[in-house]
Amino acid sequence: MFLDLDHFKHVNDSLGHRVGDALLVEIARRLRAVVRDRDTVARIGGDEFVLLLPGANAQGAARVAGKLQEASRQAYQIDRHELTIAPSMGIALYPRDGHDIDSLTQAADAAMYHAKQAGRNTYRFFTPQMQAQSLRALQLENALRRALERNQLYLHYQPQITLSTGRVRSVEALLRWEHPELGSVSPAEFIPVAEDSGQILQIGEWVLRSAMQQLQVWRNAGLCDLKVAVNLSAIQFHQQQLPEIINRILLDSDLPADSLELELTEGVAIHDPRQATATMDRLREHGVRLAMDDFGTGYSSLSQLKRFQIYKLKIDQSFIQDLDHDSNDRAIVSAIIRMAQALGMQTTAEG
């Protein structure tokens, strides 16, 4: 069984390696408590563990994976920080998936990658098709390293319209990748690769700079009130230097801070709400506005909305697309809008 800790890098980036190392020790203890005495738990590097379960069949391996999922639901208390971290797990069986440790580890690693794609905090058994898909991910990772310098990445801008006036009040910058051989690569495919390979920080800063430069062009052309929204990945959000990077980009663009809106997904704060609140406060001190993207699909609670002082909720399109035919969707959207109004927030419906 190959186990990778979801978003562990956030802990190191935001709280430091000492807290990260202490967390790894506690995770190892919890893993050891779940398996049998004759099983082996080994950390092979970074946030990756391998579990050897001699004699276990598919049912037994699935049972262990389920216990690990259950164990991960309890938060870790590290240096006054309450941390929630979960594993993505890949399972390979001997001799079906390999006859030696190298082939079994490779197969379990491929299955783990699919567990991450499936939503994390889950497990997958290896299938032969996964090997080809792992090669595709490696191909994308290598190509992505050259995409920026070769001008293959670009931004599309989606307008956000005020219903009462019909005017475009802001645009959302959407990252796209056109490769000369691979063609148009979907963000749903390459963004996870960028996150897993550590390239998301460089790419994310490029997106911010490019969006602000384009906004400057539009404002100089007479669109004086236009604003731009940029999505932040969870890894970017947990970067300690994020507020300073944002402030530097704003100074370089010579635009007011409230011309930039940062969109966060609901899950960015689940691992360490206190640290997330501190980061949001620092961003607001610079004058940047924060919006919660895809609202209604993640982990948000009313207490989080109060704590984070979000200025806008973006209602996920899954509630919007069937609005004409689904009374439940209409009720949910209506409730979100009323709640946002009561909290002094704006709302945007994603189409």
Write down all domains in the chain, each with its CATH number in brackets: 2-126 (3.30.70.270), 140-349 (3.20.20.450)
Mean pLDDT on 52-74:
94
Q: Which SS3 state, helix, strand or coil, does residue 147 take?
A: helix
Residue pair 51/68 in contact (Cβ under 8 Å)? The answer is no
User: Cα dihedral sign for 268, 274, 276, 281?
Assistant: positive
Higher pLDDT, 1 or 137: 1
Which DSSP letter does residue 126 get? Answer: -
To which H or E segment does residue 292 belong?
A: strand 289-295
Residue 276's pLDDT is 84
Q: How confident is the model at residue 275 (pLDDT cuts 50, 70, 90)?
A: confident
pLDDT in tens, 91-144: 999 999 999 999 999 999 999 988 987 877 899 999 988 887 778 888 999 999
145-173: average pLDDT: 94
Question: How many angstroms separate the CA atoms of 45 and 2, rounded?
Answer: 12
Mean model confidence pLDDT for the chain: 91
Whether the pTM exceeds 0.75: the reply is no
DSSP string, 11-34: HHHHH-HHHHHHHHHHHHHHHHHH
What is the structure's pLDDT at 270?
63
pLDDT in tens, 212-270: 999 999 999 999 899 999 999 988 998 889 999 999 999 999 999 999 999 998 777 66
54: CB partners within 8 A, 6+ apart: 38, 39
Question: How far from 289 is each of 173, 209, 294, CA to CA, in Å?
Answer: 15, 17, 16
Q: What is the pLDDT, as a whole number, of residue 265?
A: 82
The whole-number pLDDT of residue 135 equals 81
Flag whether pLDDT at 299 surpasses 60: no
